[in-house]
Amino acid sequence: MTPITTQTLENALTAKLMVSFGKTAAEATDGEMMRASALVLRDMMALREVETRQKARQQHARQVHYLSLEFLMGRSLMKNAYNLGLLPQLREALEHLGFKAADIFEIEPDAALGNGGLGRLAACYLDSMTTLEIPATGYSICYELGIFKQKIVEGQQVELPDNWKDLGAAWLMPKPAETQEVRFGGTVREFWDNGHLHIVNEDATVVQAVPCDMEIAGYGTEHVNVLRLWDARSTQPVDMSLFSRGEYLKAAEDEAMAETIAKVLYPEDNHLEGKSLRLKQQYFFVSATLQSIAAKHTELYGTMKNFHEKNVIQINDTHPALVIPELMRILIDDAGMDWDEAWDITTRSVAYTNHTVLSEALERWPQSLVEFLLPRVWQIILEISRRWQKKVEDFYHDPKKTEKMAIVWGGQVRMANLCIAGGMAVNGVSGLHSEILKKDVFRDAYGMEPWKFRNVTNGIDHRRWLSEINPGLDGLIRDLTGGDDYLLHPQALKKLDDYADDASVLERLGAIKRANKAAFAAHAKKTRGVELNPDAIFDVQVKRLHEYKRQLLNVLHIIALYQKLQDDPNAITQPHTFLFGAKAAPGYAVAKRIIRLINSLADQIDHDPICRDKLQVVFLENYRVSLAEQLMPASEVSQQISTAGKEASGTGNMKFMMNGALTVGTLDGANVEMHDLLGDENMFLFGLRADEVEQLKREGYVPQRLYNRDPVLHRCLDALRTGFRDGVRYDDLYQRLLFGAGGSPADEYFLLADFQAYCQAEKRMAETYRDQTAWNRMSLHNIARSGVFAADRAVAEYADNIWHVPHK
Ligand code: F55
């Protein structure tokens, strides 16, 4: 490859502006320049992708297929330029052409095709799979609207549509020639022909699935993979001639259905809505994906008999669980195999990652809906269920276990059990989570087939989440570790530990953080008009809003601080700024109330002169990947305070750690592993352990006792009832904590039980902060030991232990 210079890029951009938009650089808008930049990089990646694909074909390499209803990609321009080794050249070329590079990066919309952790994980893994040169493809839906944009109006969340494609579609390459047809409804008919039994789905509604590919460049490699996003189209536009034949309405209906399938991402995280459109989305993308994989496989090998040798399908939670019956359908109905052979291949091809233990998030579908929408798939599910149930009965002879492990039971289809039965591996996403799966959630399945159960602790793309977004820290790491080795070998970060007593290094680390805080404050001022004090502790909780994540516990502590300040205006000497960012699922009323509460409290504190330069609360509107990229480098305290046992892993915790923030957290999810690496002395641990939470639940938890016993807590909770200067009262939240409501028990997530310990942890944290040298040392240790949380490590584990594919 000839090296690409600033000049070549400049020429390419000028040419692209000309042919795509009919404009010169002088005439082009920032948006057009962003799209031209995307197209230029896309061209380069497309060439490499063809070469990558040809190589894999020649080598008959085993392919990884990563199926996820969500890929929370965020922005791609800076990322792709970075991975292609062109970031400095692109910056320069843009400036030469009269643009501000920062403005061009900033105008790119996030491709927000995901809710939170699960979707972002998939995006990070695409980067690592490519960097590790694994032949891999991601598959999802090309949603027209990503996760909603959040506005805060009078303290409350308002949802606006996220039309990302206007500018974002520049990354997509439609491949209409590879269109697949997906069938819904109709009836199943069997007939014999020439001694062969044929099974066909008649009168089905056919939806076309058109692939739109997004190229994924790896770092330090020519390898390029693809994220294949399926767009939905109707087979034919409504044809007026059907009118006379009375088929007009059916055709119009088919068209309407096709057009809704890829319309919008469901905004619920860790909760399931049993809507038929959601099931259609799942089957649509699963069926299109498997048909396209099967077609390519058959073209290359002329048979499906070796499918499992050449393909592995990883499913991101149960949302793509229909791959199991759909692969069976293809093997039996299309490839003509018998059941046992098809089952053997299927159960050697599919692996399932679980991301939650919350029972309201374990996916179940009404059998009537599956039967109506997917009649053939339903027949197959029933047969899988029948055989599985027999296996369980023969193994345990225990009707209770039969019921628990059943796939079809009580009129419902249980997707997790289907995945366990039809998969070769089941993994949790942190050590603790995987243990809970084995001991509790999937205990009986583990007892029967223990070899299927694994752990792969999550990881994040450290090139994006450290090197790319935090150039100051990247520079320090390069200086201390002797170069950019850590980009491909994240464990090289360990070398930073050697500088724990180097005063100049600690000082430089502090200065980098301080500069990042100032930059974030300037950004917040410019984009939202909020005034942040860069001398305050930046204490941050950003993640989806959910009761189990306990943003409300954070709020209760702030109320306690505020009340303390009322009693004694000198109680706080160190300025403290609490930053929140969180989207609530639109239908999750309690979560929305908590957002409003944060805003009421922020307003109260803002208007109280006692709090000036001491205490501040800021709710950051529309938290998303691109905002996280600004915020992580500026954060000093990372709030990871979920009820122990509930957060499967967390990945935000890793982003903070890598950027040198110190964690205030419970022993939950990957915090446990962070603690193993850091010890008590390098994080602020507090609260009940997972087993203690369970024990307390068994013994009978009465939060009112704590309320009556602890005057600080008592006063705090009372403040919810009294309300704030905006006139809003939160008696509903008070009631929920003390008495329970709507079927949920009092203080379901043990906030009150952990309140005192949490306040003490925050106090220890604030005291430590006074000694900046000690703080910076802890921060250094955090960065030094964050290497294991690189996605490269996690993906290498999947490759070695589950996929059995070679990697770099
Ligand atoms: C989205 C849709 C549905 Cl239907 C259910 C769940 C979700 C979702 O977004 N889940 C999610 O983000 N789970 C998170 O996955 C992360 C990656 O493994 C974990 O770190 C995190 O603990 C878990 O909550």
Pairing relationship of beta strands 537-542 and 637-640 according to DSSP bridges: parallel
In the reported structure, the alpha carbon of residue 795 is separated from the centroid of ligand 1 by a whole-number distance in angstroms of: 18
**Which residue CA neighbors atom 15 of ligand 1 most closely?**
118
Q: What is the DSSP letter of 376?
A: H
CA of 650 to the centre of ligand 1 (A): 9
Q: Ligand 1 centre and the CA of 423: distance in Å?
A: 20
Q: What is the DSSP letter of 496?
A: G
Determine which residue's CA is closest to atom 1 belonging to ligand 1.
269
Round to whole Å and give the CA distance between 429 and 451: 17
Burial code of 414-434, b = ≥16 C-beta within 10 A, e = fewer?
A: bbbbbbbbbbbbbbbbbbbbb
How do 311-316 and 350-353 pair as beta strands? parallel
Ligand 1, atom 21: nearest CA belongs to which residue? 650
Amino acid at 139: Y
Report CA(413)–ligand 1 centroid distance (Å): 21
Under 8 Å CB-to-CB from 19, ≥6 apart: which residues? none
Concatenated DSSP letters of 233-286? EESSPPPTHHHHTT-HHHHHHHHHHHHHHTTB----SS-----HHHHHHHHHHH
Is 270's C-beta closer than 6 angstroms to any atom of ligand 1? yes
Centroid of ligand 1 to alpha carbon of 124 (angstroms): 14
Token pair in block for residue 580: 């929140």
Q: Is ligand 1 within 6 A of the CB of residue 355?
A: yes
Task: Count the Cβ atoms, other than its own, within 10 Å of residue 256.
Answer: 11
- Nearest-CA residue for atom 8 of ligand 1: 269
Which is the closest atom of ligand 1 to the Cα of 120?
17
Name 13's Cβ contacts closer than 8 Å, sequence gap at least 6. 25, 33, 36, 37, 40, 93, 94, 97
Residue 15 to residue 597: CA distance in whole angstroms? 52
Quick check: CB of 316 below 6 Å from ligand 1? no
CB of residue 429 inside a 6 A radius of ligand 1: yes
Q: What is the atom index within ligand 1 of the atom nearest the CA of 363?
A: 4
Q: Which residue from 488, 457, 484, 459 is spatially nearest to 473, judged by alpha carbons? A: 484
CA of 70 to the centre of ligand 1 (A): 10
The residue written with tokens 């905002």 in the block is 627
CATH 3.40.50.2000 matches 497-786: yes
**Residue of 71, 270, 583 to test ligand 1 pocket, by largest number of atoms within 8 Å of CB:** 270
Instruction: Give the pTM.
Output: 0.98
Q: What is the DSSP letter of 85?
A: T
Q: Look at ligand 1, atom 11, and give the residue with the nearest C-alpha.
A: 118
> Whole-angstrom Cα distance, residue 673 to residue 788?
10
Ligand 1 contact via 434 beta carbon (within 6 Å):
no
Q: What are phi and psi of 13, to 5 degrees?
A: -65, -45
Asked if residue 687 has its Cβ within 6 Å of ligand 1, the reply is no
Could you write out the DSSP letters of every residue in 180-197?
Answer: EEEEESSEEEEEEETTEE
Domain boundaries defined on the chain: 60-75+110-458+796-803, 497-786
In the chain the first and final C-alpha atoms are separated, in Å, by 21
Residue 444 CB–ligand 1 contact under 6 Å: no
- In DSSP terms, which residues pair with 364 in a beta bridge? 414
C-alpha of residue 316 to centroid of ligand 1, in Å? 9
> What distance in Å separates the CA atoms of residue 492 and residue 499, rounded to the nearest whole number?
13
Rounded distance from Cα 217 to ligand 1 centre (Å) = 25
Same fold, 60-75+110-458+796-803 and 497-786: yes
Q: Which residues pair with 202 in a beta bridge?
A: 187
Query: What is the Cα–Cα distance from 595 to 502, expressed in whole angstroms?
Result: 43
Evaluate: CB of 121 within 6 angstroms of ligand 1.
Answer: yes
Which distant-in-sequence residues (6+ apart) come within 8 Å of 375 by Cβ? 185, 186, 187, 188, 201
Q: Is 671 close to ligand 1, i.e. is its CB under 6 Å away?
A: no
Q: Is the CB of 668 under 6 A from ligand 1?
A: no
Residues annotated as catalytic (active site), given as ranges: 355, 543-544, 549, 651, 655
- Closest atom of ligand 1 relative to the 353 alpha carbon: 18
Cross-strand partners of 264? 145
Nearest to 117 by CA among 673, 791, 758, 598: 791
Q: Could you give the 3-state DSSP secondary structure of residue 577?
A: strand
The Å distance, Cα 269 to ligand 1 centre, comes to 6
Q: In this structure, are strands 196-202 and 187-193 parallel, antiparallel, or unpaired? A: antiparallel
Pocket of ligand 1 contains residue 147 by CB under 6 Å? no
Report mean pLDDT in 10-residue bins for the chain, 808 residues. 88 98 98 98 97 95 98 98 97 98 98 98 98 98 98 98 97 98 94 86 93 98 98 79 68 85 94 89 98 98 98 98 98 97 98 96 95 97 98 98 98 98 98 98 98 98 98 98 98 98 98 98 94 97 98 98 97 96 97 98 98 97 98 99 98 98 98 98 98 98 98 98 97 98 95 98 98 98 98 98 98
Q: Where are the alpha helices (DSSP H) in 441-586?
A: 443-448, 462, 471-481, 503-528, 551-567
Dist. CA 415 → ligand 1 center (Å): 16
Burial of 700 (0-12, 13-18, 19+ CB in 10 A): exposed
Please name the residue whose Cα sits nearest to atom 3 of ligand 1.
269
Q: Which of 206, 202, 205, 171 is nearest to 189 (CA)?
A: 202
- The three-class DSSP label of residue 352 is strand
Q: For the chain, what is the total number of helices (H) and then of strands (E)?
A: 34, 25
Residue 272 CB–ligand 1 contact under 6 Å = yes
Phi and psi torsions of 530, nearest 5°:
-95, 145
Supply the pLDDT for residue 163. Answer: 97
Which two three-digit tokens encode residue 85? 């080794």
Q: Do 288 and 187 form a contact (C-beta atoms < 8 A)?
A: no
14 CB neighbour count, 10 Å cutoff: 17
- CB distance 356 to ligand 1 below 6 Å: yes
- Ligand 1 pocket residue status of 118, Cβ below 6 Å: yes
The residue behind tokens 């499906």 is: 304
pLDDT of residue 1: 58
Measured from the Cα of 670, ligand 1's closest atom is 20
Reference 201, options 220, 218, 181, 215; nearest CA is 181
Q: Under 8 Å CB-to-CB from 186, ≥6 apart: which residues?
A: 201, 202, 203, 204, 205, 375
Ligand 1: which of 148, 275, 285, 356 to mutate, judged by most atoms within 8 Å of the beta carbon? Answer: 356
361 pocket-lining for ligand 1 (C-beta < 6 Å): yes
Q: In testing the pocket of ligand 1, which one of 125, 282, 355 has its CB within 8 Å of the most ligand atoms?
A: 355
Q: Would the CB of 457 count as within 6 Å of ligand 1?
A: no
What is the distance in A from the centroid of ligand 1 to the CA of 314? 16
Q: State the Cα–Cα distance between residues 307 and 349, nearest whole angstrom.
A: 8
- Assigned superfamily of 60-75+110-458+796-803: Glycogen Phosphorylase B; (3.40.50.2000)
